[in-house]
Amino acid sequence: MSSSATKSRTRVVTDGPRVDGPRLLRDLAELARFGADDRGGVSRPGFGRADADARRHLIGRAEAAGLAAAVDPAGNLVVRRRRRTAGPALLMGSHLDSVVHGGRLDGAYGVVAALEALRVLAGRDEPLSWEPVMVAFTNEEGARFPQAFWGSMALTGELRDPRRAVDRDDVPIAGPLREAGGDLDRIADAAWPDGSIGAFLELHIEQGPVLERAGVPIGVVTSIVGRTLFEARVRGRQGHAGTTPMDMRRDAMATAARVVLAVEELARSGACRVATVGALNPEPNVPNVIAGQVRLTAELRDTDPARLGAAEVALRAAVDRIATLTGTTIELAPVMRATPVATDAGLRRVIARAGSELGLPNRTVASGAGHDAQIMASAAPIGMIFVPSAGGVSHAPEEHTGDRELVAGGDVLLRAAWELCRLGAIA
Ligand code: GLV
Ligand code: MN
Ligand code: MN
């Protein structure tokens, strides 16, 4: 994605708060134990056991630091100082859940760094106009329940049809949400009132190669890609793989394969930037049975909402053609829409200045990954900070960022938060 270098003439300063680097890295390592898998990464899908355990662990860390922790009806973990200012919140955080066989940094890093920043600010006992608050959003990834951005959408009041949320085995979300400390009956209460958030800051690994290639430790995010996620259900006719002649079949698996290729072709033909079928569930999923039904996801991404809309129209047309050709039915239902957003120009300046004052070179970078920040943009100005990802790898166990860069990102978050909270404005 396009990005441009930011030159800074800001003087490096020695005053101001710094994170406790070893503590931040220790917290990150401890969190990685929850859902640690045999591939060296983390499998911590939202609303699973490991996700709930990680949340409980973080509550313990927050309370040990004298902070107040609460889980809202959507399962979001919110941590505050016990003595608060009356001003709006400077909300900082990211998500605790991961993809299956993901890395230990995606989401978790931004949560742990936000906790660290809050801990440092709480310990300074200086007058603040904005109240620093940490949030760990629930189910950003949508690895089990496909409603990605569940927590941030609940917090901004944008969650549509929460009662319809089911996982791939049709398990309703109510039970797992309850185990995570939430409550589906009170989900509307998770929404924060208008004006209660002064700004939202999210620190995250880049998940792409730009910063590493440029040798720059800090990225100031300019924009976040838009994303539409569909669930498709192909219905054919289950039958015997040996006795059913080819001209009598309504094979849901072969039809799903055509849908997979049609989705890929949307991006290859330039209709949108990227398009992916990442999950496919055939039934009954047995070698000698023609599949009667297949559920699959289709995900489209682009930075231009008009192109995203046009790609959706093209996808629907392709799916209709495939259904007619194969004698099957295909339902295509949107499960999540996140529009492309630009970050706040003032917060970009605050972040770049914080980096420069810390002596950390920084540059602008666009995000091809989705983030809770793009949902938060409807409620408050948003800013995002990136640190380099080794080899640009993410959503894989090999996800890695050096310790020094992780601590540097934490320092930039803290310094930006410190400035914003003291001033109570974006300057
Ligand atoms: C978020 O993890 C994404 O899929 O971009
Ligand atoms: Mn992710
Ligand atoms: Mn993430």
Binding-site residues from annotation for Zn(2+): 95, 106, 141, 204, 395
User: Which of 259, 249, 250, 337 lies closest to 295, judged by CA?
Assistant: 259
**CATH number of the domain enclosing 43:** 3.40.630.10
Q: What angle do helix axes 21-31 and 403-423 make, rounded to 10 degrees? A: 110
Domain boundary among 317, 338, 359: 338
User: What is the atom index within ligand 1 of the atom nearest the CA of 394?
Assistant: 2
User: Is 369 a pocket residue for ligand 1 (Cβ < 6 Å)?
Assistant: yes
Domain boundary among 307, 338, 369: 338
Q: What is the pLDDT of residue 2?
A: 38
User: What is the atom index within ligand 1 of the atom nearest the CA of 370?
Assistant: 5
User: Could you tell me the pLDDT band of residue 12, with boundaries at 50, 70 and 90?
Assistant: confident
Residue 4 falls inside a structural domain: no
Residue 40 falls inside a structural domain: yes
Residues 148-167, mean pLDDT to the nearest whole number: 94
Residue 13 falls inside a structural domain: no
Residue 359 falls inside a structural domain: yes
Residue 12 falls inside a structural domain: no
Residues 174 and 72 in one domain: yes
Residues 333 and 318 in one domain: yes
Q: How far is the CA of 393 from the centre of ligand 1 (A)?
A: 13
Q: What is the pLDDT of residue 125?
A: 81
Q: How far is the CA of 178 from the centre of ligand 3 (A)?
A: 23
pLDDT in tens, 230-266: 999 999 999 999 999 999 999 999 999 999 999 999 9
Q: What angle do helix axes 252-268 and 305-326 make, rounded to 10 degrees? A: 150
293: Cα within 13 Å, side-chain hemisphere: 8
pLDDT in tens, 347-378: 999 999 999 999 999 999 999 999 999 999 99
Q: What is the pLDDT of residue 6?
A: 47
Q: What is the pLDDT of residue 9?
A: 58
Task: Considering only residues 415 and 164, tell me which one the structure prediction assigns the higher pLDDT.
Answer: 415
Are 349 and 383 spatial neighbours (Cβ–Cβ below 8 Å)?
Answer: no
- CB atoms within 5 A of ion ligand 2 belong to 106
Residue 126 falls inside a structural domain: yes
Counting residues of the chain whose pLDDT is more than 70, the rounded percentage is 98
First to last CA, the chain: 28
Instruction: Please give the structure tokens belonging to residue 15.
Output: 């005053």
User: What is the atom index within ligand 1 of the atom nearest the CA of 227?
Assistant: 5
Q: How far is the CA of 108 from the centre of ligand 1 (A)?
A: 13
Residues 203 and 239 in one domain: no
Residues 213 and 277 in one domain: no
**Spatial distance between the Cα atoms of 338 and 324, rounded to a whole number of angstroms:** 30
**Spatial distance between the Cα atoms of 278 and 300, rounded to a whole number of angstroms:** 11
Residue 174 falls inside a structural domain: yes
Are 87 and 129 spatial neighbours (Cβ–Cβ below 8 Å)?
Answer: yes
Q: Is 316 helix (H, G, I), strand (E, B) or coil?
A: helix
Residues 86 and 219 in one domain: yes
Residue 8 falls inside a structural domain: no
Binding-site residues from annotation: 95, 106, 141, 204, 395
**Ligand 1, atom 1: closest residue by C-alpha:** 370
Residues 265 and 277 in one domain: yes
Cα–Cα distances (Å) from 84 to 127, 191, 422, in that order, read: 10, 20, 13
**CATH number of the domain enclosing 322:** 3.30.70.360
DSSP state of 20: -
Please say if the pLDDT value at position 1 is more than 90: no
pTM over 0.85: yes
Residues 271 and 249 in one domain: yes
Residues 46 and 177 in one domain: yes
Residues 191 and 115 in one domain: yes
Q: How far is the CA of 203 from the centre of ligand 3 (A)?
A: 9
User: What is the atom index within ligand 1 of the atom nearest the CA of 141?
Assistant: 2
Residues 303 and 405 in one domain: no
Domain boundary among 338, 369, 390: 338
Could you count the other beta carbons within 10 Å of the beta carbon of residue 266?
20
pLDDT in tens, 171-217: 999 999 999 999 999 999 999 999 999 999 999 999 999 999 999 99
User: Is 141 a pocket residue for ligand 1 (Cβ < 6 Å)?
Assistant: yes
**Spatial distance between the Cα atoms of 364 and 3, rounded to a whole number of angstroms:** 6
Q: Which domain holds residue 316?
A: 227-338
Residues 254 and 322 in one domain: yes
User: What count of residues does the chain have?
Assistant: 427
Q: How far is the CA of 130 from the centre of ligand 1 (A)?
A: 29
The total of structural domains in the chain comes to: 2
Please say if the pLDDT value at position 295 is more than 70: yes
User: Is 370 a pocket residue for ligand 1 (Cβ < 6 Å)?
Assistant: yes
Residues 61 and 170 in one domain: yes
Cα–Cα distances (Å) from 31 to 50, 79, 227, 371, in that order, read: 10, 16, 28, 20
